[in-house]
Amino acid sequence: MSQIKAGIINVTGYIGAEIARLLYQHPQVYLQSVTGRSLAGQRLGEVFPNLKKTRLTIETDIDKNIDIAFVAMPHKASVSIVPDLLKSGLRVIDVSADFRLKDVSEYTRWYGFEHTSPELLDNAIYGLPELHRSDITSALLVANPGCYSTSAILAMAPAIKEGLINSDIIIDSKSGVSGAGRTLSLTNHYSEVNESVSAYALGGHRHQAEINQELGLLNTGSPLAITFVPHLVPMTRGILSSCYAKLKNNKQLQGSRVIDEIRKIYADYYKDSPFVEITENPPKTKHAMGSNFCLIYPTVDIINGNLVVISCIDNLVKGGAGQAVQNMNLMFGLPETTGLETLAIYP
C-alpha cells in the first residue's frame, strides 16, 4: 500500500513529540505536517533536538492533504477542532479526553465544560485495542485512552469479564512527572518532586470516568465501586498500578493452584494482544520504558483471598503516543505492531 500521510496538531507537547518520533520511524507513514501555534515558524528539530532528522517546520495550521490527523491538544480544545477535520474527510485520533466518554453529562462533572459536539460521542471509538480492536478498524474518530486508564483497565479487565471478583476495587497508581505535560507549574518543579512521593486528586481523578465506563461495560454483576488514587513519583516516564479486589467464592478458583488458574485466565484473555505480556515476576516501570508494552502480573493474597494485579506501562508510549500509532495501524489495515516493535530501554 502507499504510505499513509499523517499530521500532528500541537506537536509541541510531550505526547505530540512522541507521536512524531514514532511516525518518523514507521515504515508505512510519511509525516507531512505538524502544528504548534506558539512555536509556529520554528524547525521541529530546534524545539526537540531528538527530532532534527524530521526536517519539519512547525506550522500554524495543519495541511489538509493528509490521511489522518493526530490531535494532541489539551482537554476542552480538541472538541472545537475535530468536527472540521472529520468534515474534511480526514480520519482522526484525538489524544485528549474530549471524545472518550459516552455520557455527555460526564464532561461537566469531570472536566468542567459543556461538550459542544455530543453527536460525535456515539461514533467515537474508545481506542484501547485490547477491548475494541474490531471497532477501531472501521473508525473515523478514535479517542485515545488516558495513561492511568490504560494501565488500570488492562489490569482489571480479565477479572471483571470472567466474574472473578467482588464489586469493590482499589487501584493505586504511580506516575512519572511527564504525565503532567510540558507546562511549568509548582507541582512538577524539580525541587518539589525530587525525593518525594505525593498522592493527588483524592476527590476523584478525571481518568476515573473512563475507568468506570470501560470496566463497567465488562461487568455483569453488582455495580462496581472503584477507588482510584494516583500518585506522583520522582521519575520521568512510567506508570505502575497496584490493583486489589476480593475474589469471589468461585469453584473455578479453589484449591492450591488458584494463582496458576488466575494466570491462565489472564494469559487466555490476552492471547491475541501483542502488546500485553503476563510476566513471571512483578514488573518495574523500567521494564516498559520506551516500549508499547503493558506488563501485567496477576497473583493472589492467599491469606485474605484478594486478587492483586500489578500493571506497568510507559505513560508516553502505551499510555499515549504508542497506543495512538497502534490505533492508526488498525484503522488502515496494517498489523497493529507495525513501527512499534521496539523493546524497552534498560537500564
Strands 225-232 and 165-175: parallel
Q: What is the mean pLDDT of residues 198-213?
A: 97
CATH topology of domain 4-145+319-331: Rossmann fold (3.40.50)
Confidence of residue 187 (pLDDT cuts 50, 70, 90): confident
Buried b vs exposed e over 218-248: b needs ≥16 C-beta within 10 Å? Answer: bbeeeebebebbbebbebebbbbbbbbbbbb
In the residue annotation, 243 being an active-site residue is answered as: no
Give kind and range of the element (H or E) at residue 313: strand 306-313
* pLDDT for res 188: 86
In degrees, rounded to 5, the angle at the alpha carbon of residue 54 between the alpha carbons of residues 50 and 56 is 115
pLDDT tens-digit readout, 297-312: 999 998 899 999 999 9
Sign of the four-CA dihedral 186, 14, 319, 126:
positive
Q: What is the mean pLDDT of residues 213-229?
A: 97
In the structure grid, which three cell numbers stand for residue 39, read together?
512555536
Residue 6's nearest CA partner among 306, 245, 25, 117 is 25
**pTM (2 decimals)?**
0.97
Which residue of the set 147, 243, 294, 312 is catalytic? 147
Strands 91-94 and 141-143: parallel
* pLDDT for res 249: 81
For the chain, what are the domain ranges? 4-145+319-331, 148-315
Q: What is the DSSP string of 35-57?
A: E-GGGTTSBHHHH-GGGGGG--B
Confidence of residue 37 (pLDDT cuts 50, 70, 90): confident
pLDDT over threshold 90, residue 150: yes
In angstroms, the CA 21 to CA 42 distance is 17
- Overall size of the chain counted in residues: 347
Sign of the four-CA dihedral 35, 36, 42, 48:
negative
In angstroms, the CA 311 to CA 245 distance is 14
Confidence of residue 256 (pLDDT cuts 50, 70, 90): low
pLDDT tens-digit readout, 6-18: 999 999 999 999 9
CATH number assigned to the domain covering 148-315: 3.30.360.10
In angstroms, the CA 98 to CA 206 distance is 12
195 φ, ψ (degrees, to nearest 5) = 55, 35
Does the bond joining 347 to the residue before it have cis omega, within 30 degrees of 0? yes
* pLDDT for res 311: 98
Whether residue 207 contacts residue 247, with contact meaning beta carbons closer than 8 Å, is answered with no
Q: In what order do the strands lie in the sheet with 29-35?
A: 58-59, 29-35, 4-9, 68-71, 91-94, 141-143, 125-126
**Which long-range contacts does 60-64 make (Cβ < 8 Å, 24+ apart)?**
60/35, 61/35, 62/7, 62/9, 62/33, 62/35, 63/7, 63/32, 63/33, 64/88, 64/90
Number of Cβ within 10 Å of residue 217's Cβ equals 14
Whether residue 20 contacts residue 73, with contact meaning beta carbons closer than 8 Å, is answered with no
In the structure grid, which three cell numbers stand for residue 159, read together?
477479572
Confidence of residue 251 (pLDDT cuts 50, 70, 90): low
In the structure grid, which three cell numbers stand for residue 112, read together?
468542567
